[in-house]
Amino acid sequence: MQERQGMSLFLDGNAFMCNCDNLDLIRWIKTTKVDLDSQSNKCQLSNGTVIDTLTAYNSLSNLFADCKSTVWLTFASTLLSTFFIISLLLVLYSKRWKIAFYLSGVVQRFIEKSSERYKYDVYMSYAGDIVIWIKYVLIPRLEAEWGLTMCIRDRDFLGGESLLDTEAECIEKSRYIIFLITPEFKSSKDCLFELDRAKYERVTRNLDKIIVITKDIRITDIPLEFSYI
């Protein structure tokens, strides 16, 4: 309501919390030139007690003694956190080369362990006379030129050992496997076993890549199992 001497504001029945958040409001009610009845304005303390704002204003030092402590605590916490972060960054910067060398060592050890796990780079799965092409074309290219270590059944398997166990072990110790699919592949029990083993190693993440090369065979004659690897 607007009057000649100023404004009148009626706050009766609008109780609010007497806490640090409303400290400025309590001061304003007491010091404002707006015409209002300070005695009729109520506020509630944290313990549930309801008092009028005039009493609250007259007891600011007692009722709100913790407000300054809260402000200083917030300031101190912020300052301490900032100091800690800056100190940590300075330490990291001063030790940056040691940290870099340490991380490099960790990566190097991981690479070495991965290399130790693999005895061969490539395992060859094949059947029939294609071994001649492997011997005179593929081996010179992959081993002599590219420096890869190949596992070839007719060359690297030792006699007197279980063939299936040797195939499974060598596939497990190979980073890649190359399936050289020819018309004889589908009827070879060894090749089909190697295919099943490769699927298992792929699921267990021991095999990085499976490479398929076809030679002298129609697409319709390729084993259906290759659709699932």
CATH code of the domain covering residue 194: 3.40.50.10140
The burial of 57, by beta-carbon neighbours within 10 Å (0-12 exposed, 13-18 middle, 19 or more buried), is given as: middle
* Mean pLDDT across the chain: 79
Residue 2 — pLDDT band, cuts 50, 70, 90?
very low
Asked whether residue 147 falls in the same domain as residue 204, the answer is yes
Q: What's the pLDDT at 77?
A: 81
Cα-based distances in Å from 130 to 37, 93, 134, 138, 215: 105, 60, 6, 10, 9
Residue 225 — pLDDT band, cuts 50, 70, 90?
confident
Confirm whether 8 is domain-assigned. Answer: no
Q: Specify the pTM.
A: 0.50
Asked whether residue 41 falls in the same domain as residue 121, the answer is no
Asked whether residue 141 falls in the same domain as residue 75, the answer is no
Q: What is the DSSP letter of 150?
A: E
Domain boundary among 81, 112, 143: 112
For the chain, count helices (H), then strands (E). Answer: 10, 7
Give me the phi and psi of 211, to 5 degrees please: -110, 135
Asked whether residue 175 falls in the same domain as residue 90, the answer is no
Asked whether residue 77 falls in the same domain as residue 144, the answer is no
pLDDT higher than 60, residue 5: no
The model's pLDDT over 122-151, given as tens digits with 9 standing for 90+, comes to 999 999 899 999 999 999 999 999 999 999
How many domains does the chain contain in total? 3
Confirm whether 4 is domain-assigned. Answer: no
Task: Provide mean pLDDT across the span 30-45.
Answer: 64
Task: Provide mean pLDDT across the span 84-106.
Answer: 81
Asked whether residue 152 falls in the same domain as residue 206, the answer is yes
Please state, in angstroms and rounded to a whole number, the distance separating the CA atoms of residues 68 and 43. Answer: 20
Q: Which domain holds residue 44?
A: 16-63
pLDDT higher than 60, residue 113: no
The model's pLDDT over 157-195, given as tens digits with 9 standing for 90+, comes to 987 778 899 999 999 889 899 999 999 998 899 999 999
